[in-house]
Amino acid sequence: MSTLAEMWPFLRAGFTNTLVLLALSLVLSTILGTVLASMRVSPVLPLRAFGTSYVNIFRNTPLVVMFILIVEGFPPVDIRPNIEAIGLNTFETLAVFALTIYTAAFVCEALRSGVNTVDPGQAEAARAVGMTFTQTLSVIVLPQAFRAVIPPLASVYIALTKNTSVAAAFGVVEATAQLSRMNEQTVAGTGVLFFGIAAGYVVIVWVISGIAAFLERQVATAR
């Protein structure tokens, strides 16, 4: 406990960055994933082809490769100076970008599976009363799809929580990076530090699972 108390400021700073990465990536990947899912079910062939290609490429690319491409591959086109010019942390911004475009592919597939559970007759009825495809999707289909895929989306967000640790290898001082730094400073408390970091991730996952379970109960009650 004394080791944890001594290292608490570092743990707190690390998990603060982890939560920032998680929150930004979660929101942005959900938005992008929803757009991609809409493309995947669109009657417009180019949009559908783009959505399908995106999912096939990014879902089958290792996250580490994605980080290497974005963090190490973009500097030649002067993206880092542009990020710094608007006052953002370069590595954290690139990490959010990498996590977002990677996770969006999984969010897209989860939502698409939810769209497939919606009775096609509802979409046909909406078109019969004059609603456009966009209106049908946003008002009728997607709200039902989100309710149907709460558990799969929770699994995607839990995976995203663990994937934030990859950012440690690319200059982002989140929880796992702090563990590495603290481990270099102390030997006696290594086991305690590992336990503290693991417990922090367990708490985050527990919160996500709890929110998902609550939403599931709410949906079941509404039905």
pLDDT in tens, 70-122: 877 655 555 554 555 444 556 778 888 889 999 999 999 999 988 888 887 88
CATH number at residue 210: 1.10.3720.10
CB-CB contact of 201 with 162 (8 Å): yes
Averaged pLDDT of the chain: 79
How far from 133 is each of 5, 119, 127, 138, 166, CA to CA, in Å? 56, 15, 7, 9, 39
pLDDT above 70 coverage of the chain, percent: 74
Please name the residue that has the structure tokens 């078109």: 127
Average pLDDT of span 22-29: 93
CB-CB contact of 172 with 22 (8 Å): no
User: What is the predicted pLDDT for the residue at 86?
Assistant: 47
CA dist 160 and 194 (Å) reads: 20
* Domain total in the chain: 1
Average pLDDT of span 215-220: 82
For residues 105 and 7, the model is more confident at: 105
Pick the closest to residue 105 from 157, 72, 57, 47 (CA basis): 57
pTM listed for this prediction: 0.81
User: What is the predicted pLDDT for the residue at 28?
Assistant: 95
Other C-beta atoms lying within 10 Å of the C-beta of residue 218:
12
CA dist 122 and 128 (Å) reads: 10
Residue range of the domain that includes 201:
2-222
The 10s digit of each residue's pLDDT in 110-163 is: 999 888 888 878 878 888 888 887 888 888 888 888 888 899 999 999 999 988
With residue 76 as reference, give the H or E element that holds it.
Answer: none
Q: Which two tokens stand for residue 189?
A: 């408390």
User: What is the predicted pLDDT for the residue at 128?
Assistant: 84
In sequence order, the 6+-apart residues with CB closer than 8 A to the CB of 130 are none
Average pLDDT of span 199-216: 89
**Rounded to 5 degrees, what are φ and ψ at 192?**
-65, -40
Residue 187 has pLDDT above 70, yes or no: no
